[in-house]
Amino acid sequence: MMKRIGAYLLCMLCYNSITAQTGYSNFAQQSNRINALAKANPQWVKVKSITKTTGGKDIWQITIGSGNTESKPAIAVVGGVEGNMPLSSELAIGFAENLLQGINSDSIKNLLNKTTFYIFPNMSPDAMEQYFASLRYERQGNATSTDDDRDGKSNEDGYDDLDGNNKITWMRVESPIGTYRVHPNDPRVLIKADASKGEKGTYLVFTEGKDNDKDGNFNEDAEGGVWFNKNLTFKHPSFSQGSGEYPASENETRALLDELFDRFNVYAVISFSSNNNLSTPLSFNPQAATAPVLAGWLMPDTKVNSMVSDLYNKTVGLKDAPASSANGGDLLSWGYYHYGRFSFSTPGWWVPKTKPDTAKNEKAFTVEDATANYLRWASQQNIGNVFTEWKTIQHPDFPNQKVEVGGVDPFVMQTPPFSLVPDLVKKHSAFIVKLAAAQPEIDIINVQTEKLANGLTRITLDVINKAALPSHSKLGERSYWVKRINVKVNNSSSQSIISGKKIQLLNALEGYSSKQLTWLIKGTGKVTIEAGSPTTGTKTIEVTL
Amino acid sequence: MKLHIKQFIASAAFSVSALLATAQNADQIFKAAGSPANPKVTVSWNRYYDHAGITEICKKIAAAHPELAKLQSIGKSYKGRDIWCLTITDFKKGNPDQKPGMYIDGNIHSNEVQGAEFSLYTAWYLTETFKDTRFIKELLADKVFYIVPTINPDGRDSYFHEPNTGSTPRSGVIPVDNDRDGLTDEDGYDDLDKDNEILLMRRKSATGRYRVDPSDPRRMIQVGPDEKGDYELLGLEGKDDDGDGVVNEDGYTFQYDPNRDWGWGWQPNYIQNGAYKYPFSLPESRAVMDFVMKHPNIAGAQSYHNAGGMILRGPGDPTDQVTYNPQDIQVYDIIARKGEELIPGYRYLIVHKDLYAAYGGELDWFYGGRGIYTYSNELWTPYLMFNKDATRNPQDNSNFQFDSYLLFKDAFVDWHEYDHPQYGKIEIGGFKKNFGRAHPGFLLESDAHRNMAFTIYHAYHTPLLNVDTVTEKDLGNGLKEVTAVISNSRIMPTHSSHDLKFKIERPDYISISGVKAVAGMVVENADLNITTEQATNPERIEVANIPGLSTVTVRWVVQGSGKYTISVDSKKGGVAKK
């Protein structure tokens, strides 16, 4: 009971402090912010829980739009794709908050009259709580109990906070057969020794912990769980840690997929994850794109990726993104290959490349290393408390060896100081709004009628996509979860269609492209012709015969 | 749960009284070899049963044999029908969940109906012959059968009760917008002549390429390049319901394929026609998956399809050769070759190679996802008509001959005139939906028996573990060495080779209790004394696998005298102790 009151008070506090948010939001705070949006903007925002995780946490869906939201082309925005990236949820919720802060402006009203946004701020709420827990470590697994090392026992060898600092960092063990050596420019950092270059290692490196089950491995089966970004269906990495016993095994995975499969109006999925095809677009790989089991974006779709990536880089202005590749079971790949929509993902932030500060007598690195770069950047930005100094401990599994615990702290390398977050939210929101401005839109132009003879009329017109983005991805043309452009002639019983189809389905219309159609109709009076699909909106015209 | 028990008692009471009325007088009967002479549950095996019929038979079997059969619903179909599972074993001997399990289902494709009768026959036969047949008695002491007659009850009833062809519907009944025009099921078949059959349409035509076969007026034959025909074929019974210029393009009969909904090598519908949203996105396959996940003792599995007379193994995915590794293929081959002997006319084939590429099929998930040796049988083959192989010769009219001389023309609807709104004067006729893929009545029981015999052979060869010999050697200082040989006397290992590769199932445990184990080890070679010690928990030695027709030897150094017990505990191999 006391606990509940405590939680309630805490919620009240965070509710009151929305405008002066000072740090990343935990799940309760996220939930409050999300529900506060719906409360403050009932005509624009609907919030629902699409499921609960095994940990009992709601997966929230925020729908932002106006009127019949399902009849408007839509963008899905997904955060918490990986549980160790709290920034991703801030970007997703922040986007929603940003939009609604501007709700009195004509530009946002016009946007929401044309576009619907489905926002799923956190797909990994069970894992993300570890960021706020008393023992902090980077976790991606949800609360489902898993046997990560597949030995018949679950969660029998988790991390151990050996130095008692409430964080799981690293341990290094001095060893003549070590595989790591000290970084030549920063002695705090360990790098792989390359035996082929004659380098000799001096340390074995492990994550912080004991071999609790005495199987010779450290921390190989910690608490949790299934990783959302490994549980989806494209190239599901079956039987690897965190993938789940089969694809889409988790409530949250299925709930998202079920929800999106019903939303035929979604033309793009934007997710915040370690996968990145926004800084650098995916290139066309003809072999993969023509394989029986398709594994590469189709040529026209890679062109769209280039265009959108350009838009992203110009709007967000982040440079030197680290290379990334989707490893299967991930949302970025699912959005394209199995959902058939344009799918884009970005981490939203990464450590900038540093230059040596000559005033501090720093020299250029002789060995490039992400951790060394991060520590230099953090020190130049006066960001403290990101590194645990190496400290010798007595380790029961290494009775006569020197074991030290320390190293770079969890989360810090993909989680910017919170002071940077508002600007990141602003820039990413601007990007999504610009992408929405390029959304496919159907129009009917160049309508011509020719009277041939005796009540026989030929109608000719162009169905066009007057926007930069295609009506559908090229791949979407093949999927029955993507609706085609449907062109219908509504004629009365006294009018008959002599040539041309009453109903016809068109393939994807590329950006700024058209398709000419023609009919011969017998009769007099008016017919209406409508063309559209859920991702393009529908246009109806009236033609006098 | 309580409610269920009550229901069972009620139905048991009901069927016992019904039995008294219908059972034959034992004096009037002379037993035919290999069949139950006076079964407690009488079932006619020369006809088909809809879901209600299957439900009743399942309940009767469970009520008549409470110590051999238990009935449970493993889930509901899309329309809310129960998916029944009969657990068949000797419940008085051992824990059923710890016996090696054989899973059998049928009817995943709606029109492929006889798998349900074949499965039910198996449950019926095992329970009815248990009393008199020593082999079955021993089998049910060691093994457990999980029998799910239909995993697609909506589709099954739809096939029987709605107008259809022998090939429709293949899918379940969740509506899908197949032509992606925003409307669902707006243009399916039309039973124009209202006889609950979807037949062929033909029309007289001066330019037609067909004519009536002079030897059998029911049969249409294609004319040669220099001949003139007088009929054209217009496809299956239907019309253009939605005015889009296409006939029968979005009906309920092919929404999706339930056998493309499984979690191994699953591919989306643009690669694998018929795939639904994601693996196990259909309630029926999800129910089966949940059941299998909860029963890691299932070591062998069988799914029944039709038609063609095949015993199929995976892979369905041509790029998935690596999963079916040589050691496991040996096991597959031995069992399936026996199947070819037991079921004349059936051939042992590989899905992707001999049939077609099929991603996300049930048999691939059972094996790839769970390491279970699994076959799909394509039931019924034209071979069974005259006990000779059918030909591809266009002159071969054995279907018509068979129908004429053995079914007395019951399988064909004669051509009759119809006034079609789009085609004008046409004729409708053709084989009924119960012919061509489903067995004719008189051949149903015998083929069910043969296919059952194949699954029994499969079940028999799931692992059978035994603690064979235990030897002792005094080491002095109050220590002694205990060496135990554990045997597996059947073909299947406790872990398929694919299972071992991904550690799908936990290791087998061989334990000693009653004495203190100071050390424990696996003996690699007893003669040369090569051992591998297990440093932690020596009293419970973990072995990755107990191979088929082979042994594993373990050894402990123990302290103390007194009696001790050695036991083996394997998820798929069962338990044994000494």
DSSP letters for A397-419: TSTTS-EEEEEEPSSTTTS--GG
Residue B495, class by beta-carbon neighbours within 10 Å (0-12 exposed, 13-18 middle, 19+ buried)?
buried
Give percent above pLDDT 90 in chain B: 87
Other Cβ atoms closer than 10 A to B41: 23
Nearest-Cα distance to chain A for B246, in Å, is: 10
Contact B175/A at CB under 8 A: no
Asked whether the beta carbons of A128 and A83 are under 8 A apart, the reply is: yes
Which residues from B are below 8 Å from A250, CB to CB? none
Among B86, B103, B79, smallest CA distance to B155 is for B79
Suggest the residue from A226, A233, A264, A294 to mutate for an interface test with chain B (most B CBs closer than 10 A): A233
Cβ pairs bridging A and B (under 8 Å): 108
Per-residue pLDDT, B184: 85
Which residues from A are below 8 Å from B244, CB to CB? 501-504
E-strand ranges in A321-400 read 342-346, 387-393
Other Cβ atoms closer than 10 A to B497: 19
Residue B311, class by beta-carbon neighbours within 10 Å (0-12 exposed, 13-18 middle, 19+ buried)?
buried
Nearest-Cα distance to chain B for A64, in Å, is: 24
E-strand ranges in A142-293 read 170-174, 180-183, 186-192, 203-207, 266-272
Other Cβ atoms closer than 10 A to B411: 22
pLDDT digits (tens, 9 = 90+) for A235-245: 999 999 999 99
Terminal alpha carbon distance of chain A: 75
Q: What is the mean pLDDT of residues B181-204?
A: 92
Among B353, B363, B169, smallest CA distance to B259 is for B363
What are the structure tokens assigned to B106, written together?
């049928």
Per-residue pLDDT, A524: 94
Residue in chain A closest to B504 (alpha carbons) equals: A150
Cα dihedral B251, A260, A248, B252, rounded to 10, equals -10
Per-residue pLDDT, A19: 53
Is domain A442-544 given the CATH code 1.20.1250.20 in the classification?
no
Q: How many angstroms separate the most distant Cα atoms in chain B?
A: 105
What are the structure tokens assigned to B327, written together?
């050691």
Contact A292 B266 (CB under 8 A): no
Interface of A with B in 360-419 (CB under 8 A): none
Q: What does residue B179 show for φ and ψ, rounded to 5 degrees?
A: -95, 5
pLDDT digits (tens, 9 = 90+) for A43-91: 999 999 999 999 999 999 999 999 999 999 999 999 999 999 999 999 9
Suggest the residue from A481, A487, A499 to mutate for an interface test with chain B (most B CBs closer than 10 A): A481
Q: How far apart are CA A215 and CA A41, in angstroms?
A: 55
Per-residue pLDDT, B353: 93
Per-residue pLDDT, B253: 73
Contact A505 B179 (CB under 8 A): yes
Q: What is the β-pairing status of strands A513-522 and A496-499?
A: antiparallel
Q: How far apart are CA B100 and CA B306, in angstroms?
A: 27
Helix (H) / strand (E) containing B19: helix B2-22
Q: What is the mean pLDDT of chain B?
A: 93
Per-residue pLDDT, A20: 63
Domain ranges of chain A: 25-131+225-350+420-437, 170-223+352-408, 442-544
Which residues from B are below 8 Å from A248, CB to CB? 263, 278-281
User: Who among A248, A478, A501 is closest to B270 (CB)?
Assistant: A478
Contact B278/A at CB under 8 A: yes
DSSP letters for B20-48: HHHPPPGGG--PPTTS-SS-SS---SSS-
Contact B178 A480 (CB under 8 A): yes
pTM, full prediction = 0.93
Residue in chain A closest to B500 (alpha carbons) equals: A150
Among B432, B425, B418, smallest CA distance to B193 is for B418
Among B559, B557, B482, smallest CA distance to B516 is for B559
Contact B279 A254 (CB under 8 A): no
3-state SS class at B199: coil
Residue in chain A closest to B180 (alpha carbons) equals: A483
A41-48: which pairs have CB atoms within 8 A and are 24 or more residues apart?
Answer: A41/A100, A41/A103, A44/A100, A44/A103, A44/A112, A45/A96, A45/A100
User: Who among A257, A484, A502 is closest to B180 (CB)?
Assistant: A484
Contact B294/A at CB under 8 A: no
Q: What is the β-pairing status of strands A266-272 and A74-78?
A: parallel
Per-residue pLDDT, A480: 85
Instruction: Please give the domain boundaries of chain B with CATH numbers for all domains.
Output: 2-159+257-380+439-460 (3.40.630.10), 177-251+391-436 (no CATH), 465-577 (2.60.40)
Per-residue pLDDT, B24: 60
Give percent above pLDDT 70 in chain B: 96
Q: Which residues contact A300 (CB under 8 A, 6 or more apart)?
A: A470, A474, A510
CA distances in angstroms from B283 to A104, A238, B80, listed in the order given:
45, 22, 10
Q: What is the mean pLDDT of residues B460-471?
A: 97
Q: Which residues of chain A have pLDDT under 50?
A: 1-18
Per-residue pLDDT, B45: 97
Contact A294 B271 (CB under 8 A): yes
Residue B481 bears catalytic tag: no
User: Who among A152, A478, A504 is closest to B506 (CB)?
Assistant: A152
Q: Tell whether the torsion through CA atoms of B519, B524, B527 and B530 is positive or negative.
A: negative
**A25-131+225-350+420-437 with A442-544: one CATH topology?**
no
Asked whether the beta carbons of B432 and B197 are under 8 A apart, the reply is: yes
Per-residue pLDDT, B10: 47
Contact A246 B279 (CB under 8 A): yes
Which residues from B are below 8 Å from A238, CB to CB? 263-264, 368-369, 502
Q: How far apart are CA A83 and CA B12, in angstroms?
A: 53
Q: How far apart are CA A236 and CA B281, in angstroms?
A: 16
Asked whether the beta carbons of A233 and A333 are under 8 A apart, the reply is: no
What are the structure tokens assigned to B491, written together?
């073909």
Which residues from B are below 8 Å from A503, CB to CB? 181, 242-245
Assigned CATH for A25-131+225-350+420-437: 3.40.630.10
Among B210, B201, B49, B192, smallest CA distance to B115 is for B49
Burial A154-174 (b: 16+ CB within 10 A, else e): ebbbbbbbbbebebbbbbbbe
Low-confidence winner among A9-23, B11-25, B451-465, B504-518 (lowest mean pLDDT): B11-25
What are the structure tokens assigned to B242, written together?
């939605």
Choose the catalytic residue: B237, B378, B445, B505.
B378
Confidence band of B554 (pLDDT split at 50, 70, 90)? very high
pLDDT digits (tens, 9 = 90+) for B87-118: 999 999 999 999 999 999 999 999 999 999 99
What are the structure tokens assigned to B425, written together?
């004067």
Residue in chain B closest to A261 (alpha carbons) equals: B277
Nearest-Cα distance to chain A for B164, in Å, is: 24
Confidence band of B12 (pLDDT split at 50, 70, 90)? very low
Nearest-Cα distance to chain A for B218, in Å, is: 37
Nearest-Cα distance to chain A for B478, in Å, is: 28
Interface of B with A in 473-512 (CB under 8 A): 502-504, 506-507
